[in-house]
Every structure is written in structure tokens, then in C-alpha cells.
């Protein structure tokens, strides 16, 4: 879809190395936004930036680990040095590591909380001043947090992932009370089953198989479906906040 309102926006997309982040970066750039691409895999980001540039868009690859404060600080500096103020932040980077709670996988819990929640907060911290300054100038400013249907629907063995996503949805709602009055839109996008690399890090064979079974049983959403929703959300007139969107495959109950 075409969203002319996105021309002249300056965006940051985290988790741009694959899946929803890659598709969102492409969608924003195709509509004229400059896009800073953040993730850990430099070669993926470089390839995406080259693709976007070859298609006539503007993109900047910025390697960063959002669980590391110094890395996020350096990324924010690189973005500001290249592009100046950012007016659109898509907080999308995330990991999903299911296992029975009784297995006590503190390593996975820590990684999910540090990435999905604290990492998102680090990114918010890095760019909120840009968003409020943009809005104060009368221009559109957006913070989009990619949450999940797992913030509402409970899945056995996904307790900690679900808790991090419920926190992202709650954080988005709470932030609206602080940033809405300053004309910064905050949106939570909550996808269901989407075909990406998210399941590749599951280390429990039974749960991997279960996830594979869901993909066999239900035609999943594509990363491009979610990217289109993000692009639609941030291209509304600035007084319209599409604040919480649940987007599921039609066959997902
Ligand atoms: N796929 C689904 O069914 C689904 C459903 C609901 C919600 N979501 C959410 O959608 C978001 C995007 O996931 P996806 O489905 O597109 O999966 P994905 O393909 O695995 O993408 C996750 C992205 O996050 C990046 N990332 C992970 N840890 C990071 C870190 N410490 N620092 C910086 N970047 C990091 C990864 O890049 P690097 O590895 O290069 O860092 C990757 O680009 C996630 O928040 C996920 O929870 C997905």
C-alpha cells in the first residue's frame, strides 16, 4: 500500500535484521521515510540498507545490541549524527524462548526480559526527547511498540514471553498518559502467528514441533502484513491514534 504521509519522516526500526523489522523498514522506506536499521547482525543490516538504497530509498545500518546500554547509546549517537532528530520509533526487536516454568531457565527469562522489556525501554529512553521535540514543533511523532497476542491469550510454557509482552502492552498504555498530552502517539501492535525467524531460537524439541504444527495448521500472517499495519498506523493524521491493534491470521482462534 502507498502512504504518502510517510515521506520526510525519519524512523528507527529495531530488530531490522529479519522478519517484521525488515519488512517494516522496507515499507517505511518505500513510502519515502529515512530509516535507521538496528539489530546485532551487521551483514543483514548492510544488505537491507543496500537493497533499500538501490530501490531509491534512504537507510542507515546501525549495529547494536539493545540489551547493552553502551551499545544503545552509541547507536543513538550514530543515528543522530547521520539523520538528526527521529520522529518515528518502531520498537520491534524481540526474542521468544518458551519452556516449562518448572525448568527454571533463568538464562532465557533474563534474555527475554532484557530484550523485550528493558531493551525496548532503552530505545524509548534514547529517542523520547526527539519525539516530544518533533511534536512540539507541530509535526507527527510516533512510538510503535510491537507486543503480541501473547499479552492477552495464555499459552502453556510461554509464561515469561507472555509476561514480557503484557508488560510492553501495559507500558504502551501507561506511556500514552505521559506522551499523549504532548502530542506523541504511542501504539501497541499485537500480532498473532507470523512467519519469521522468531521460532528458530526455541531449544525445546517438543515445543519446536508444536510451533511447526501451528504453522502447518494455520496459514500464518507474513511479516509484510504486519509492516503494512505499522505503516498504516503511523500515516494517520496526527490527531488520530490507532493505539492498540490485534492482528491475527483469520484461522487463528
Ligand atoms: N512472529 C510472530 O509470530 C510474532 C507474533 C507476535 C509478536 N511478535 C513480535 O514481533 C517482533 C519481531 O519478531 P519477528 O517475528 O520478526 O522475529 P525475528 O525474525 O526473530 O526478528 C527479531 C529481530 O530482533 C532482533 N534482535 C533480537 N535480539 C536483539 C538484541 N539484543 N538487540 C538488537 N536486536 C535484537 C533480531 O536481530 P539480531 O539477531 O540480528 O539482533 C531480529 O532482527 C518481536 O518483538 C516478537 O516478539 C512476533
Tally of structural domains, the chain: 1
Within a domain: 155: yes
Cell of 76: 543513538
pLDDT digits (tens, 9 = 90+) for 73-83: 999 999 999 99
Evaluate whether residue 252 is within a structural domain: no
Please list the active-site residues.
161
Share of the chain above pLDDT 70, in %: 100
Distance in Å, CA 13 to ligand 1 centroid:
11
Atom of ligand 1 nearest to the CA of 114: 31
Residues of the chain with pLDDT > 90, as a percent, come to 99
Q: Is residue 104 part of a domain?
A: yes
pLDDT tens digits for range 112-144: 999 999 999 999 999 999 999 999 999 999 999
Q: Cell numbers at residue 148, please?
A: 503480541
Whether 253 is covered by a domain: the verdict is no
β-sheet with 244-247: strand ranges across: 58-63, 34-39, 10-14, 88-91, 141-146, 184-191, 244-247
pLDDT at 253 over 90: no
CATH classification at residue 131:
3.40.50.720
Report, as an integer, the average pLDDT of 74-95: 98
Collapse the DSSP code of 215 into the 3-class scheme (helix H, G, I; strand E, B; otherwise coil) and give the result: helix
Question: Residues lining ligand 1, judged by CB closer than 6 Å?
Answer: 14-21, 39-41, 44, 65-67, 92-96, 115, 119, 146, 148, 191, 193-194, 196-198, 223
pLDDT digits (tens, 9 = 90+) for 173-232: 999 999 999 999 999 999 999 999 999 999 999 999 999 999 999 999 999 999 999 999
d(CA 37, CA 20): 12
**How many angstroms separate the CA atoms of 127 and 23, rounded?**
22
Q: Provide φ and ψ at 62, rounded to 5°.
A: -130, 105
Separation of 198 CA from ligand 1 center, angstroms?
6
- Enumerate the β-bridge partners of residue 19: none
Domain of 76 in residue numbering reads as: 4-247
Amino acid at each position: 500500500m502507498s502512504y504518502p504521509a510517510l515521506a520526510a519522516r525519519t524512523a528507527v526500526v529495531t530488530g531490522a535484521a529479519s522478519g517484521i523489522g525488515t519488512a517494516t523498514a522496507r515499507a517505511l522506506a518505500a513510502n519515502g521515510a529515512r530509516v535507521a536499521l538496528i539489530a546485532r547482525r551487521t551483514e543483514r543490516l548492510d544488505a537491507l540498507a543496500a537493497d533499500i538504497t538501490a530501490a531509491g530509498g534512504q537507510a542507515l545500518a546501525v549495529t547494536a545490541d539493545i540489551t547493552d546500554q553502551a551499545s544503545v547509546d552509541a547507536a543513538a549517537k550514530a543515528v543522530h549524527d547521520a539523520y538528526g532528530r527521529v520522529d518515528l520509533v518502531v520498537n520491534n526487536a524481540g526474542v521468544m524462548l518458551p519452556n516449562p516454568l518448572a525448568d527454571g531457565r533463568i538464562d532465557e527469562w533474563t534474555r527475554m526480559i532484557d530484550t523485550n522489556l528493558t531493551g525496548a525501554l532503552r530505545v524509548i529512553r534514547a529517542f523520547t526527547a526527539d519525539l516530544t521535540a518533533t511534536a512540539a514543533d507541530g509535526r507527527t511523532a510516533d512510538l510503535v511498540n510491537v507486543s503480541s497476542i501473547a499479552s492477552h491469550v495464555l499459552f502453556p510454557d510461554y509464561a515469561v514471553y507472555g509476561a514480557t509482552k503484557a508488560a510492553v502492552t501495559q507500558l504502551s498504555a501507561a506511556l500514552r498518559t505521559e506522551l499523549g498530552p504532548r502530542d506523541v502517539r504511542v501504539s501497541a501492535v499485537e500480532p498473532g502467528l507470523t512467519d519469521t525467524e522468531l521460532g528458530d531460537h526455541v531449544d525445546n524439541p517438543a515445543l519446536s514441533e508444536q510451533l511447526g504444527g501451528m504453522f502447518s495448521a494455520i496459514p500464518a500472517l507474513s511479516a509484510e502484513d504486519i509492516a503494512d499495519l505499522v505503516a498504516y498506523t503511523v500515516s494517520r493524521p496526527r490527531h488520530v491514534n490507532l493505539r492498540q491493534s490485534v492482528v491475527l491470521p483469520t484461522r487463528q482462534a
